[in-house]
Amino acid sequence: YPHLLALISQGPFGPAPFVSPASPGHQTPVKASGLTMATVDRFYSRFSPSPLSIKQFLDFGRENACEKTSYMFLRKELAVRLANTMREVNLLPDNLLCQPSVKLVQKWYMQSFLELLEYENRAAEDPRNLNDFLDVLIDIRNRHNDVVPTMAQGVIEYKEQFGFDPFISSNIQYFLDRFYTSRISFRMLINQHSALTETDIAHSRKPRYLCALHVPDPGDMVLHIAALLFGNNTNPAHPKHIGSIDPACNMAEVVTDAYETAKMLCEQYYERAPELHIEEFNAKAPNKPIQVVYVPSHLFHMLFELFKNSMRATVELYANSSEDLPPVQALVTLGKEDLSIKISDRGGGVPLRKIDRLFNYMYSTAPSPSLKPSRAAPLAGFGYGLPISRLYARYFQGDLVLYSMEGVGTDAVIYLKALSSESFERLPVFNKSAWRHYQTGPEADDWSSPSREPRDASTYKANS
């Protein structure tokens, strides 16, 4: 696999585009035991992450994959991605950094970075190093399970203490989009290095992609690591999967699974739920099911969030009506470049001015939920469902867009790349442009805004 071998030969990967004014010149990394934040600043954070395509993930994960090559790639690539994130965290406002939840997340990231550095110079030829490295990756993944809700709690703590500031909110929005995207990529690499085995599936009615619903992350499904991808073991639940990637992901099946899961919760708490009408249009192979190479857990997460929102809006709009609930419509289409999934409801819609707020982490109106699982408010939470779902869509060069008509309903469209060779990771890079974003103050609006007391135009006459 030349693309991985070439990356490994570069050492820490990619160009070193930026050193902030406060950073000294290049230095050789020190041992983990002597790590300081300067090590992150001066070495690993100077390098850009190396984005991989789904096709590269898939090619490398097949039967002739090399465990040593993966080890050599990950021990540096994961450190680079962590370092870029850790460096950017320090550019957040001091009042946010001092929040207990944010400090806890920083502690997790530093600990994980330290553990990765322990393997910087360990030989790939020693099987014990490979086995120990896998154990470390599992520990890191488990440690980071609650990063999303914990960071969300930190934002809530900050907002309760200091209120809302448009400039600070803009920086937090910018950071969290990048922070959570980096986390998605981090878990993707770890999951691809290992084989996931579902537990208790045979004794459960839960759909195959059902995740722990109290944590908005498809990587936190009821799963555990069983064996290396490179061994002879296979995933008994999904024997054709390559790690978390399905080479022939059936879109209609994932749509149905996500709907059934959302319906189960909706009926549990509202005692009824709208039905699903699903339609497929395959422009590449008419009359055949739509199947592409994709990560079904990512897609499940996006669809579950959209179905959950559609069902809640529909049921609450018709709460006092004896009429049958209008169904939720799902349209799956496949063209030469794009795979699109549209979820449509008749739940009353959202005003145009509120659409952007639905993707804003600071605008959430949901009550602060517990970080522990509970039976309370299953269809609400931190208000992060839509922004996180959009990040999953954008992670492999797709998108998630909302079109709403107030008084009628909402159409949500997921856009994905039809070709796995074009589905490259979209990764944040800590460089001069990113640094400048946190330093630049808000600029004056260069468009007109309505005055509080509109003038009476009839009193202003042109001079003759």
With contact defined as beta carbons under 8 Å apart, do 334 and 290 qualify? yes
Token pair 């209120």 is at which residue? 163
* Selected catalytic residue, list 263, 308, 342, 417: 308
Is-contact 80 185, C-beta < 8 A?
A: no
Q: Which of 193, 301, 342, 417 is catalytic?
A: 301
DSSP string, 357-403: GGG-GGG--S----SS--SS-TT-SSS-HHHHHHHHHHHTT-EEEEE
Spatial CB neighbours of 237, under 8 Å, sequence gap ≥ 6: 197, 198, 201, 208
Annotated catalytic residue 131: no
- Which of the following is catalytic: 88, 157, 305, 425? 305
Q: Which helix (H) or strand (E) holds 76?
A: helix 67-89
Q: CA 279, 283, 288: angle at the middle one, nearest 5?
A: 60
Check if 301 is active-site: yes
**Number of helices (H), then strands (E), in the chain:** 14, 9
Burial class (CB in 10 A: 0-12, 13-18, 19+), 286: exposed
Q: Give me 174's structure tokens.
A: 């910018």
302 and 340 in contact (C-beta within 8 Å)?
no
Is residue 305 annotated as a catalytic residue, yes or no?
yes
Report the SS3 class of residue 22: coil
SS3 272: coil
Identify the residue whose tokens are 């996500």. Answer: 258
Distance in angstroms (rounded) separating the CA atoms of residues 417 and 340 = 9
Beta strands 194-198 and 223-228: pairing type? antiparallel
Sheet holding 328-334, edge to edge: 276-282, 328-334, 338-344, 409-417, 399-405
* 95 assigned to active site: no
**Catalytic residue (choose from 309, 342, 417, 425):** 309
Closest CA to 188 of 147, 222, 137: 137
Bridge partner list, 403: 411
b/e sequence 413-430, b meaning 16+ C-beta within 10 Å: bbbbbbebeebbbbbbbb
Phi, psi of 270 (to 5 degrees): -115, -10
Q: Which residues are catalytic?
A: 301, 305, 308-309
